[in-house]
Structure 1
């Protein structure tokens, strides 16, 4: 590659006279540097470098270079199973932290798992299954020290909504569960494939703003769905949009609500919210909101058992299968129409689960200052869900609430997930019969209190202040989820994010530059009102790569700048424009359409007796301009390192012509 163009002249004040209204009074610099041309590269070498930077920017194979075969095998195993690497330094001090964290998140996950299984329209034990096998797999293969694995509210609701559109969870319960396992299998395959093929960048198409809106909408939708259990309604709509839910609630108001259920739900919801408030007020009391759900389940179950409230219309869990995860390999559809449906549902669930897990992992990795390999995470999460689908689990991922508790409890490694898994194992083997009298109202209260944290008002307000287009994406995703459905909200989020990218690509920003007095610095005249235009010279900056999508717009925008400037000069009877300088430092790339647009721009300028000058083109751009012979068309003497040098030379040429 050619040497990079220095920015010293552009970024430092120079001891030169102020620019005046005449070219002839401008001082020369002692030397003018010419733009360097990078050495020509072989096509295959260029393709290889581009592919490597796109898919292997982190160069995962660098550690294998110059290593003996036995060492390569060990390093390869450590790459696939990070536990082999960090496990060598594991000690009792770390175990102490992981033990406390594991027990803490287990107390939180057990009631949440039972509740989230209901969101997915599955029996309670399936939620517990998801916190037994998947965390063990992740602990061996994952690279995050802080993520707590299990079912989460958004993915549970998403699966429940998508699958019930295909199979009724009540009348076709067995087929519904089979489709859930099939979707989980294909979700795992998708996640693992993205990691193996190094395609993790695809999840970046869900912007932060879209995720904020989607999560907020999903939180409201989830909370509304809990009104069935919270109010004791038996006949409830299967639709998730707010209008259908509110109609169902209103229609059942006269005969479908149960005051005992409402009393239980309201009391413990208040308790859970108060516990959350205490945890936020004093960080050292993080364990209070962590154990509050389990305490709520125990107390409410005892209350129902003693008072026999189930005989007065209070709906209870009734039965949770005892024992560890049964095999479900023979329940997965590998072929046929249900396999296709499972693949489609699994693909959507995989992307949402990945987005949540990677975001959580990166957040806590940054807090603890260690690196997280996104592609390795995807392989771990994918493998976890593939194995999970074969052991009666539905899609599991990283939970933000549990991961936050895990972090606050002092977890050191992924062993905390193993501790949690061991507690869930004991629960499945010994304790599940005790949940028989757990009221559905308490599960609804646990879910409502958990999802409230997904509504990020502060982030939405910040998005509104910073970027209005981002806010449109945020609100589009939010209203799509709330008023239509979860999948439509997700589609709206992706569509608006892509539309924003297309808008920015097809309509890049351009700016007129002026000179800051007493310097050789040229900046946007809108940002710096004190910057003055150079007489006889129009300086335009293009703030984007120039491709077929925007090349024609860039050409026409520059000509509009030129036309407007000429009209103003003519009205004021000032000297005409003789030079058009295009500042190209922000132009990272250009394609043949872009070059063709510059050729047309050059022809248009020639008809007006205006010379085209380029300033600071990057190595990729100047190489392509040379190969297209555009540099010969305008002349090598019309290409400069900086705008300052270009203006100085144009002034000399104008003086010589005069």
Structure 2
């Protein structure tokens, strides 16, 4: 049975848990554990959010969803084939992936805007994994088999994370880290498409960015006719976009029509380039092929649909790359979903979103799809198109089906340089704007450097290392902030309101304003011999030692020492505290007596949400060190405790219920040395009236004002004053 303890002589009296006047374990959990049967029902019903809105579906929603779905479908067809090319897969695999992602997401989605399918970052990562496996095993597995197995494994892991409700792990990665690797990845992807855009052969497009740029510049003399299609397509895409944007500002009444013209630019440009490629290449085929690179035959419909055969040797082959693929899947998707949720005023469920992409990828492996996640560009397009529900994905999936079964003959003449132009145009929007980067600098310079490190590492190395760098740096910064929290010693300031009859009130501010408080405002100490310390973080094992040192060092530097070390013989002094030299002993004692004598320390726990065993022991150590310095009992008061578990922990450590003689030296010894006796706790008489809190804990207070009032009251009852002690020392 758990208990809190009280030292009486050499014995420690342990009070049973039931007598703790704050909270007991059984009561706490009984009040929070729901009906198990209902919890199971809620868990499974929440797996299908579609059940919450499908019964209210109406014609108004249908119109918005059809427009948005058809719009996204027109975009996803050329993008899907482009991203499949980026993943070094045949173009039809991009369409397979698009269809499954769009169709399955609507059943599990908590975001109406997100569009699941092939994306640039995941496509490039898939290409890198395929290349690594192929280089080690020399063609033992085909690229589509590797990509499909990767989709199944990574999707299954993400699905498990969602089902286990571990989506909160995504929250450990801050927005600048995500933006950093997305920006670096966009630069990496755009650069990798330059050789294909220009028709330059012999360049390793999966190398580091600077190498690709250098090798592309060296290969400019080898530029082929493909550049005519690639550069023309890229210029056309940007021209249509810029022209429509300008016309929207000039003719706002026509903005809707101009918007859909701008949306259709990918399809229109690919269509025009395909017609041009057909007209130029149809009569120019030679033994070596066509004069420019084209897609050529794209199989019609779904090929070899069925359960995927998982090869354990293949899984082992890319096992080291599986974490990075999983991180990209969940991180990019949840970041996009949260972003559009903020913009459009709705809340997403990260766990459910992970389930959605997990299901999409595991089912996608049946259709031989490769890993898919949320797309930023298509999600933004879907949002701007007026989407109303996740059902828009069904309309977009229909467009993909029509393309797979009806348009594949036309795909034969699509120039690959045109698809490279589509990729470059799409990923350019992922690059963070200068204004956004400057905001990171203004809000948190350390996070700006995390963003910068992610970009630099991604550009000069790989996306994998860029992601690991951003995540590692973010977690290091988090641990640094937890282990080195800010805290303040507070002073008092009296504010008077002349408009309300001169009514005054006390406020407590840091003694060192550090530029936050007006420097003209003079903050005074709360009272002689009383310290107030405000925590700014939870009091836990990573930071408790630092806070202990901060408090003890402040006491030793600003409060009177109770023992005159100079009067002790040198051979009797402890090795770690030699004291003043013989010549400076008197001056040191005079300076010491000029300091106030510490009577009480008040801790403001208003920002503390957790307190663990190690921190409780550190608090006991602080009390021991402070009282050894003062050579007298010191009262410890606690204000603004918001959690009953913190009160419980403090009581179990001996605080809040009496003087320091009732506080144990150790609360969790490695080897027990105490003679423990269990007793029942009776009520103790207390001198302070605190109606908002229980009278059994007279050193817990509602706020700092009440704590200071109690400390002052106890100080006034001390039998001797500082002046009397100074006179005894012969200094007054």
Scaled by the length of structure 1, what TM-score is found? 0.84
Match in the other structure for 1:13 = none
Structure 1 residue 294 corresponds to structure 2 residue 267: yes
The alignment partner of 1:582 has SS state of strand
Matched residues in 2 for 1:257 and 1:329: separation?
44
Structure 1 residue 640 corresponds to structure 2 residue 701: yes
Check 1:91–1:592 CA distance in 2 against 1; reply closer, same or farther (3 A cut): closer
Larger fraction in helix: 1
> Bigger shift: 470-479 or 365-374?
365-374
Match in the other structure for 2:525 = 533
Matched residues in 2 for 1:649 and 1:630: separation?
15
Deviation at 1:656, TM superposition (A): 3.5
Match in the other structure for 2:508 = 522
Match in the other structure for 2:652 = 627
CA contact (8 A) 2:116 2:357 kept: no
Match in the other structure for 2:693 = none
Check 1:541–1:476 CA distance in 2 against 1; reply closer, same or farther (3 A cut): same
Check 1:656–1:179 CA distance in 2 against 1; reply closer, same or farther (3 A cut): same
Match in the other structure for 1:435 = 411
Match in the other structure for 2:238 = 273
Deviation at 1:328, TM superposition (A): 5.3
CA contact (8 A) 2:558 2:595 kept: no
Superimposed CA distance per residue, residues 493-538 of structure 1 (whole angstroms, 9 cap, x where no aligned partner): 1101110111011111111212122332212241324232234233
Structure 1 residue 475 corresponds to structure 2 residue 452: yes
Match in the other structure for 2:620 = 599
> Bigger shift: 430-439 or 385-394?
430-439
Match in the other structure for 2:467 = 490
Match in the other structure for 2:673 = none
Match in the other structure for 1:190 = 157
Over the aligned positions, Cα root-mean-square deviation in angstroms equals 3.0
Matched residues in 2 for 1:465 and 1:294: separation?
40
Structure 1 residue 552 corresponds to structure 2 residue 545: yes
Deviation at 1:491, TM superposition (A): 0.7
Structure 1 residue 505 corresponds to structure 2 residue 482: yes
CA contact (8 A) 2:180 2:454 kept: yes
CA contact (8 A) 1:179 1:332 kept: no
Matched residues in 1 for 2:333 and 2:395: separation?
20
Scaled by the length of structure 2, what TM-score is found? 0.76
> What are the residue-to-residue correspondences of 1:28-47 with 2, within 5 Å?
39-42=22-25
Match in the other structure for 2:571 = none
Match in the other structure for 1:462 = 439
Matched residues in 2 for 1:216 and 1:48: separation?
48
Deviation at 1:385, TM superposition (A): 0.8
The alignment partner of 1:98 has SS state of helix
Structure 1 residue 445 corresponds to structure 2 residue 466: no
Check 1:499–1:266 CA distance in 2 against 1; reply closer, same or farther (3 A cut): same
Deviation at 1:162, TM superposition (A): 2.7
User: Which of structures 1 and 2 has the bigger CA Rg?
Assistant: 2
Match in the other structure for 1:26 = none
> What are the residue-to-residue correspondences of 1:28-107 with 2, within 5 Å?
39-42=22-25, 64=38, 79-107=46-74
Give unmatched runs, 5+ long, in structure 1. Answer: 1-35, 53-58, 66-71
Deviation at 1:338, TM superposition (A): 1.4
CA contact (8 A) 1:515 1:521 kept: yes
Q: Which has the higher contact order (CA 8 A, sep 6+)?
A: 1
Match in the other structure for 1:388 = 364
Check 1:402–1:545 CA distance in 2 against 1; reply closer, same or farther (3 A cut): same
Superimposed CA distance per residue, residues 9-28 of structure 1 (whole angstroms, 9 cap, x where no aligned partner): xxxxxxxxxxxxxxxxxxxx
Check 1:279–1:365 CA distance in 2 against 1; reply closer, same or farther (3 A cut): farther
Check 1:188–1:261 CA distance in 2 against 1; reply closer, same or farther (3 A cut): same
CA contact (8 A) 1:212 1:459 kept: no
CA contact (8 A) 1:77 1:84 kept: no
Deviation at 1:174, TM superposition (A): 4.6
Match in the other structure for 2:305 = 327
CA contact (8 A) 1:232 1:313 kept: no
Matched residues in 1 for 2:448 and 2:707: separation?
40
Match in the other structure for 2:582 = none
CA contact (8 A) 1:163 1:345 kept: no
CA contact (8 A) 2:302 2:367 kept: no
Deviation at 1:190, TM superposition (A): 1.1
Matched residues in 2 for 1:226 and 1:63: separation?
55
The alignment partner of 2:533 has SS state of strand
CA contact (8 A) 2:110 2:353 kept: yes
Deviation at 1:225, TM superposition (A): 0.4
Matched residues in 2 for 1:38 and 1:338: separation?
60
Deviation at 1:76, TM superposition (A): 7.6
Matched residues in 1 for 2:624 and 2:466: separation?
48
CA contact (8 A) 1:78 1:85 kept: no
The alignment partner of 2:367 has SS state of coil
Match in the other structure for 1:614 = 637
Matched residues in 2 for 1:574 and 1:63: separation?
64
Match in the other structure for 1:16 = none
Structure 1 residue 587 corresponds to structure 2 residue 602: no
Check 1:522–1:246 CA distance in 2 against 1; reply closer, same or farther (3 A cut): same
Matched residues in 2 for 1:246 and 1:81: separation?
47
Deviation at 1:348, TM superposition (A): 2.6
> What are the residue-to-residue correspondences of 1:110-509 with 2, within 5 Å?
110-168=77-135, 172=139, 174-237=141-204, 239-254=206-221, 256-258=222-224, 260-278=225-243, 282=248, 284=256, 285-308=258-281, 313-327=291-305, 329-333=307-311, 335=312, 337-457=313-433, 458-509=435-486
Check 1:154–1:48 CA distance in 2 against 1; reply closer, same or farther (3 A cut): farther
The alignment partner of 1:521 has SS state of strand
Deviation at 1:372, TM superposition (A): 2.5
The alignment partner of 1:158 has SS state of helix
The alignment partner of 1:428 has SS state of helix
Matched residues in 2 for 1:325 and 1:414: separation?
27
CA contact (8 A) 1:221 1:482 kept: yes
> Bigger shift: 358-367 or 212-221?
358-367
CA contact (8 A) 1:185 1:346 kept: no
* Count of paired positions: 603
